Structure 1
Amino acid sequence: MATHNDLGRQGEALAKTYLEKAGYEIIDENWTYGKAEIDLIAYRNQTIIFVEVKTRSGNGFGEPEDFVDNRKQKLLAEAADEYIYLMNHQGEARFDIIAILFNRQNNHTLKHIEDAFWPSSSI
């Protein structure tokens, strides 16, 4: 198994724990639609939150959140539209990014960016 996959799974586990401790209810994990995968889908205050988790072992090429580009946002929006349709959700929705950065000592920082983007083709 590739190391980056292990790092990604570790990041998703950290993000899930963080959100649960902050009072979010995790309603789905690794939900796929077409070519998109939504890492975490949370619920809080009648809002569905679609969470993209980006984990990196360094920031030499940019911060983790910089890797949620327009193409990724469009894919996430399409998947979110389908999820909202299937769940018949009538409330609010938003897209968050959780950026996790590990250093060489395996310590990490976690940044939760609420309402990180709103794709024009979405909801």
Structure 2
Amino acid sequence: MAQHNDTGKQGEDEAVRYLEQKGYHVLERNYRHQHAEIDLVARKGRLLIFVEVKTRSNTRFGHPEEFVTYTKARLVMKAAEHYIFTKDWQHDVRFDVVAVTVFPEEVTIRHLEDAFH
């Protein structure tokens, strides 16, 4: 597997661990609909959260959350719409970004709630 794939998988694993420690229940990983993918679908109470995880091994070119593009946000929202419909979800939803930076000596996590407006 390519190094960037390993880094992305590690970031996703860290994001799951972080969210579960914060009381979220992760329902799905890598949910796909057509060309769109949602990294994580989580639930906290009656709130369904669609999470985009961005992972970087350094911040030389910017922080991970800066790499969530408008196009990516739209794709996530489209896949979320399909998920909501197929699961007949009748409560609130939110779109978050979990930014993970994997440094050799530490991992930092930044959770941006309600990241897509």
Q: Aligning the two structures, in what range does the TM-score lie when normalised by the shorter sequence? A: over 0.9
Query: Any idea what SS the aligned residue of 1:62 has?
Result: coil
Q: Distance in 1 between matches of 2:105 and 2:75?
A: 31
Deviations 1:63-121 (A, max 9, x none): 10011110000100100000000000010001000001122x24111001111113xxx
CA distance in 1, matches of 2:102, 2:68: 18
The Cα RMSD (Å) is 0.9
Question: Secondary structure of 1:53's match?
Answer: strand
2-side partners of 1:98 and 1:110: how far apart?
7
Give the TM-score, by structure 1 length: 0.92
Aligned counterpart, 1:25: 25
Aligned to 1:113: 112
Tell me how many residue pairs correspond in the alignment.
Answer: 117
Large movers: runs of 4+ above 2 Å: none
| Percent of pairs with identical residues | 46
The answer to whether 1:79 aligns with 2:72 is no
- Residue 45 of structure 1 and its aligned partner are, at CA, apart by 2.2
Q: Which residue of structure 1 aligns with residue 102 of structure 2?
A: 102
Aligned to 1:58: 58
Q: Secondary structure at the residue paired with 1:4? A: helix
Per-residue CA distance 1:38-63 (angstroms, 9 max, x = gap): 11100012011000100001112111
Question: Would the aligned equivalents of 2:11 and 2:102 in 1 still touch at CA under 8 Å?
Answer: no
Paired with 1:27 and 1:58, the residues of 2 have a C-alpha distance of 29
Checking the alignment, whether the CA contact within 8 Å between 2:58 and 2:101 is kept in structure 1 is: yes
Q: Shift of residue 17 of structure 1? A: 0.7
Q: Give the TM-score, by structure 2 length.
A: 0.96
Distance 2:46 2:77 in 1: 19
Q: Name the structure 2 match of 1:121.
A: none
For the residues of structure 1 that align with 2:75 and 2:111, how far apart are their CA atoms?
A: 20
Distance in 2 (CA, whole Å) between partners of 1:21 and 1:61 is: 29
Q: Which runs of 5+ in 1 are unaligned?
A: 119-123
